[in-house]
């Protein structure tokens, strides 16, 4: 096997492991009691919170009402942003967020707001705002 094939295989393996860890970390935890837990993938609008963890927004699709404040928290060790795909005053646009930083935005108009992380554009999310 050639050296570049080995390197490519190694990189592919690292990516698969990172994705697996990210998916597993979104699964929530289980306990022996009757309390239920909610995974980040299935949060409801009452949470009004989005975590940024393992290079993903969780939940990546959130539904809220007009007037709702949504808060993003960066749990990764690298800088992330919340950057609307379409630049509007009614859409979020955060500065760089270091680890443990938060950014809040109050949605004042109904609509669907797609967003991404500027340094990592493959990270995507959507906020759907209803009346």
Q: What is the rounded average pLDDT of the residues 28-49? A: 42
% of the chain beyond a pLDDT of 70: 64
From CA 54, how far away is CA 94, in angstroms rounded?
19
pTM of the model: 0.66
Confidence tier at 32 by pLDDT (50, 70, 90): very low
Query: How high is the mean pLDDT of the chain?
Result: 78
Q: What local confidence, expressed as pLDDT, does residue 46 receive? A: 46
Residue 75: strand, helix, or coil: coil
- Residue 80, both tokens: 């992330």
% of the chain beyond a pLDDT of 90: 64
Q: What local confidence, expressed as pLDDT, does residue 1 receive? A: 59
pLDDT 10s digits, 68-116: 999 999 999 999 999 999 999 999 999 999 999 999 999 999 999 999 9
Look-up: residue for tokens 């009452």? 46
For the chain, domains (ranges, CATH) are 45-130 (2.60.40.420)
**Other CB atoms within 10 A of residue 121 CB:** 10
Confidence tier at 22 by pLDDT (50, 70, 90): very low
Assess contact for 102 and 69: CB atoms under 8 A.
no
């Amino acid at each position: 096997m050639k050296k570049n094939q080995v390197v490519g295989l190694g990189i592919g393996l690292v990516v698969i492991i990172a994705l697996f860890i990210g998916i597993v970390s979104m699964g929530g935890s289980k306990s022996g009691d009757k309390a239920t837990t909610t995974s980040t993938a299935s949060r409801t609008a009452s949470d009004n919170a989005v975590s940024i963890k393992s290079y993903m927004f969780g939940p990546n699709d959130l539904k809220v009402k007009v007037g709702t404040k949504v808060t993003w928290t960066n749990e990764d060790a690298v800088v992330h942003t919340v950057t609307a795909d379409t630049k509007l005053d009614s859409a979020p646009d955060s500065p760089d967020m270091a680890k443990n930083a938060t950014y809040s935005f109050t949605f004042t108009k109904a609509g669907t707001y797609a967003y991404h992380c500027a340094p990592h554009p493959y990270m995507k999310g959507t906020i759907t705002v209803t009346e």
